[in-house]
A and B are shown apart, each in its own frame.
Chain A
Amino acid sequence: MTNAVKATEDAILAKRPESRAWRKFRSHKSAIFGSVVVGTFAAIAIAAPVLPIPSPAATDWGAVRLAPSLAHPLGTDEIGRDIMSRMIWGARASLMAGVVSVAIAMVIGVPLGILAGYMRGWVDAMISRCTEALLAIPFLILAIALAAFLGPSLTNAMIAIGIAATPLFVRLARGQAINIAAEDYVESAHAIGLSTPKILLRYIFPNVLPPVLVQSTLTIASAIIAEASLSFLGLGQQPPDPSWGAMLNTAKNFMAQAPWMALWPGVAIYLVVLGFNLLGDGLRDALDPREE
C-alpha cells in the first residue's frame, strides 16, 4: 500500500516541469559539453590565487617573448611575463565581466520589464520608448560610448556593458509579463484581493524567470566578447592587470616576432563563449514547454 503511494508520488514528481527540464537538459550532449567548459574555466578562475604559477605581473627581462617551453608552457610576453599565468588571471576578469554585467542588466531590466508588462498604460509607454531608443544604438557602440564617458577601467566596462544589455531584459520580461498577466491564475489572485506587489512577486516574477535565465546565459557570452572588445580597444581592463582582450591588443604589435602571444587569449575567449552559447541553447531547449 505505502509502496503504491510512493510509486504514484514518484510518478507525479517525475512529471514536474523541473525534473522534465532537467532530463531534457541531461540528454543534450552539447549542453553538457558547454557546462563542462564553463565549469572548468570557472574553477581555474576561482583557483587562480592558490595555483602554483608565477605572478601574472612578474616581469623577467631575461625571458622576453620566449616561445612556449617547459618553463613557460604558453610562452612569455613582451616584458617577460608568463602567459599561462596571465591567461589564468585573465579568466577571472573575463568571467567576472560576463557575470557582473549581466547581473546589472537583469537587476535593472527585469523589474522594469515586469512593471511595464503588468501595469501597461503610461508606465509601459515610457519604459518601452526608452528601451526602443537604447535598442536603436548597437550594443557595442553604446558600450564604447558609455565606457568612454565613465573612463577606462574593468569596473566601468562592466557597468557600460550591463547598461547596454539592459534593454534586452526589459523587452523580454515585458513580453513575458504581458502573457502571464492574462493567465487565469493571475486573474483569480487579483479576484481574491491580493495586492499588486504580491501578485508581481509571487505569480509574475517566478514565471518570467525561465526565459530570463536562458537569455542571461546567452548574454554572458555576448558580454564576455564585449569586455574583450573594450579591453582590446583600450577601454576595459588597464595594464598591467591581465585581461584576454588587453593581451590581444598588445599581441597585435608583436605578430611577426611572437605569434603565440596572440593565439592563446583568442582560443580562451572562443572556448568560454562557445561554452556559454551551448549552455544557453541547451537551457532553452530544456525549458521550452512547446517541444514536448
Chain B
Amino acid sequence: MLSHILRRLLVAIPTLILISVFIFGLQKLLPGDPVLALAGEDRDPETLNRLRDLYGLNDPIWVQFLSWAKGVLQGDLGTSIRSGIPVSQMIATKLPVTLQLAAMSMVFAIFIGIPAGIISAVRKGTKLDYAANVVALSGLSIPNFWLGIMLILIVSVKFHLLPASGYVPPTEDFWLSMKTMIMPAFVLGTGLAASLMRHTRSSMLTVMRQDYVRTARAKGLREPIVILRHAFRNALTPVVTLIALLFGELIAGAVLTEQVFTIPGFGKMIVDAVFSRDYAVVQGVVLVTAIGFIIMNLLADLAYVLLNPRLRGR
C-alpha cells in the first residue's frame, strides 16, 4: 500500500515539472508589457528599466524560470503586479470561498445524482429511466452560466427570494452565507449531478448483472437490501473515483459561476487577473489548480484501492 502511494507520488513529479515549465512559458508569451501598464502615464525609459530590474524582467529567461521555480518550492508564487499583495496570500483568502462553493455543489450533485442513477438503473427501460436520462443529458448541455442568469432572473429579480450576488463568509453569518451561496451551488452542481447520475447508472447496471447479486436474490433477500447492500456498495467504487476526477470541472465551472453571481473567489480572481495582465496571479492560479487536480487524482487512486478489497493486499 505504502509503496503504491510512493510510486504514484514519484510519477507525479515529472508531470509537475512539465506543468511549471508550461505555465512559466505561457506567461512569457502574454501580450503587452506589464511594466508599461504598471508605470501608467509615466513612460520614462529610466523608470521602466528600474521597474523591469525590480521584477527581474531583465534577466535571461532561464534565470527567471529558476528563480520563479525556487520561489514556488518555498511557497512563494510571486507578487501581484496590480495590488502588490503576494499571490499565495491572495489565493489563501480566495480559495476558501471557492471551496465552500465547490463543497456545497458537490453535496447537491451527490444527493441528486447518485439516487437518480440508482433508481434509473433499477427501473431500466421504464419511462422513469428515460426521463432521468433526458434530464441528465440536459444538465450536461445547459451552459451553467446561463442557468445562473435564468435563476437570478426568476428567483431574485422577479420573486426577490434570494440575493442575486455577493458573498458572506459562514464564520460571519452562517445562515446568510448559506442563503447567498445556495443558488450558485445549485447552478454549479447540476452539471456534476448529471455526470454522477450517468456514471452511477452504468456502474449499477454492470454490477447488477454479476453472479453475487443473483445469489443474493436467490437467497431470498429483499430487493432493497440486494440493491443497496450488495449492488450499490460495489457500484460505488468507480463513482467515488469520478467524484475526485470531477474536481477540474468544478474549478472550471466555478470560474463562470463566480462571474455570474459576483462571488469574490478563486475563479473570479483568474478572470480579473487575465484582464489586468497580472502574470503572477494567472500562473499561481493555474499552478495551484493543476496541483489540486494531481492531489485529487492521487486520492481517487487511493480510494479505489481502499474501496476494493481485492486490491488492498498489493
- Which A residues fall within an 8 A CB radius of B? 129-130, 132-134, 136-142, 144-146, 148-151, 221, 225, 228-229, 232-235, 248, 251-252, 255-256, 259, 262-263, 265-266, 269-270, 273-274, 277-278, 281
- Chain A residues with CB below 8 A from B253, complex form: 140
Decide if B141 is an interface residue (CB 8 Å cutoff).
yes
- Asked if A269 and B252 sit within 8 Å, CB to CB, the answer is no
A232 touches B137 (CB 8 A): no
Are the CB atoms of A140 and B143 closer together than 8 Å? no
Task: Tell whether, in the assembled complex, residue B141 and residue A137 are in contact, meaning their CB atoms are under 8 Å apart.
Answer: no
**Chain B residues engaging chain A, CB cutoff 8 angstroms:** 14-15, 18-19, 22, 26-27, 29-31, 137-138, 140-143, 145-147, 149-150, 152-153, 157, 248-249, 251-253, 255-256, 259-260, 270-271, 274-275, 282, 285-286, 289-290, 293-294, 297
Given contacts A145-B26, A232-B145, contact A259 B274 (CB under 8 A): no
Q: Is the CB of B252 within 8 A of A139?
A: yes
In the complex, the answer to whether B157 meets A136 with C-beta atoms within 8 Å is: no
State A132–B270 Cα separation when bound (angstroms): 22
B141 touches A145 (CB 8 A): no
Q: Which residues from chain A contact B285 at a C-beta distance below 8 Å?
A: 141
Closest to A149 in B: B30
Q: Chain B interface secondary structure, helix, strand, loop or mixed?
A: helix
For residue A128, give the distance in angstroms from its CB to the closest CB of chain B: 10
**Is the beta-carbon distance between A270 and B293 smaller than 8 angstroms?**
no
- If A138-B251, A141-B286 touch, whether A228 touches B141 (CB-CB below 8 Å) is no
Minimum C-beta distance from A234 to chain B (A): 7
Instruction: From the candidates A136, A234, A255, name the one contacting B153 in the complex (CB within 8 A).
Output: A255
- State the Cβ distance, B202 to closest chain A Cβ, in Å: 12
| Selected A-B contacts with CB under 8 Å, 7 pairs | A133-B19, A133-B22, A138-B289, A144-B270, A148-B30, A256-B157, A273-B143
Contact between B270 and A129 (Cβ–Cβ < 8 Å)? no
Evaluate contact between B256 and A232: CB separation under 8 angstroms. Answer: yes
- B58 to chain A: closest CB distance in Å? 21
Which residue of B249, B271, B275, B290 is within 8 Å of A137 (Cβ)?
A: B290
Set of chain B residues within 8 Å of A234, measured between Cβ atoms: 275
The total of interchain contacts (Cβ-Cβ below 8 angstroms) comes to 126
Complex contact A140–B19 (CB within 8 A): no
Known: A149-B30, A248-B145. A277 touches B137 (CB 8 A): yes
CA of A146 to CA of B25 in the docked complex: distance in angstroms?
A: 11
Per the bound structure, the CA–CA distance linking A134 and B15 in Å amounts to 9
CB neighbours (8 Å) of B274 from chain A are 144-145, 148, 235
- Cα–Cα distance between A248 and B31 once the two chains are bound (Å): 27
Report chain B residues within 8 Å CB of A278.
137
Q: Which residues of B contact A233 (CB under 8 A)?
A: 255-256, 259, 271
A138 lies within 8 A of B149 (CB): no
- Distance in angstroms from B4 CB to nearest chain A CB is 18
Cα separation A115 to B22 with both chains bound (whole Å): 22
Taken together as a complex, chains A and B put the C-alpha atoms of A65 and B22 apart, in Å, by 45
- Of chain B, the residue at the smallest CB distance from A257 is B157
Q: Which residues of A contact B255 (CB under 8 A)?
A: 140-141, 144, 233
Interface secondary structure of A, over-half rule: helix
B31 touches A136 (CB 8 A): no
In the bound complex, how far is the Cα of B78 from the Cα of A111, in angstroms?
Answer: 38
Distance between Cα atoms of A263 and B149 in the complex (Å): 9
Judge whether B146 and A248 touch: CB under 8 Å.
yes
Among B14, B141, B286, B297, point to the contact of A277 (Cβ < 8 A): B141
Interchain CA distance A256-B153 in the complex, whole Å: 7
Say how far A166's CB is from chain B's closest CB, in angstroms: 13
Contact yes or no, B141 A270, CB < 8 A: yes
Is B149 touching A270 in the complex (CB atoms < 8 A)? Answer: no
Bound complex: CA of A129 vs CA of B286, how far in Å? 18
* Nearest CB of chain B from residue A44's CB, rounded to whole Å: 18
Minimum Cβ distance to chain A for residue B194 (Å)? 10
Please tell me if the beta carbons of B140 and A277 are within 8 angstroms of each other in the complex. Answer: yes
| Residues on A with beta carbons closer than 8 Å to the beta carbon of B14 | 129
- Contact check, A145 vs B286: say whether CB atoms are below 8 A apart: yes
B293 in contact with A136 (CB, 8 Å): yes
Using Cβ atoms and an 8 Å threshold, which residues of chain B touch A140? Answer: 252-253, 255-256
In the assembled complex, the Cα of A251 lies from the Cα of B252 at a distance in Å of 22
Given the known interface contacts A133-B22, A248-B145, A248-B149, the answer about A149 and B259 at a Cβ–Cβ threshold of 8 Å is no
Nearest A residue to B164 via CB reads: A255
Q: Which residues from chain A contact B293 at a C-beta distance below 8 Å?
A: 136-138
User: Given A248-B145, A278-B137, are A262 and B15 neighbors across the interface (CB < 8 Å)?
Assistant: no
Given contacts A136-B19, A255-B157, contact A270 B146 (CB under 8 A): yes
Residues in A neighbouring B18, C-beta threshold 8 A: 129-130, 132-133
- B290 neighbours in A (Cβ, 8 Å): 133, 136-137
Q: Is the CB of B15 within 8 A of A229?
A: no
* Interchain CA distance A81-B283 in the complex, whole Å: 39
CA distance A251 to B143 in the complex (A): 15
A251 and B137 contact, Cβ closer than 8 Å, known pairs A144-B255, A233-B256:
no
What CA separation (Å) do A265 and B15 show in the bound complex? 39
Contacts of A252 in B (CB 8 A): 149, 260
CA distance A75 to B29 in the complex (A): 42
| Contact assessment for B249 and A138 in the assembled complex, using a CB-CB cutoff below 8 Å | yes
Residues of B within 8 A of A142 (CB): 286
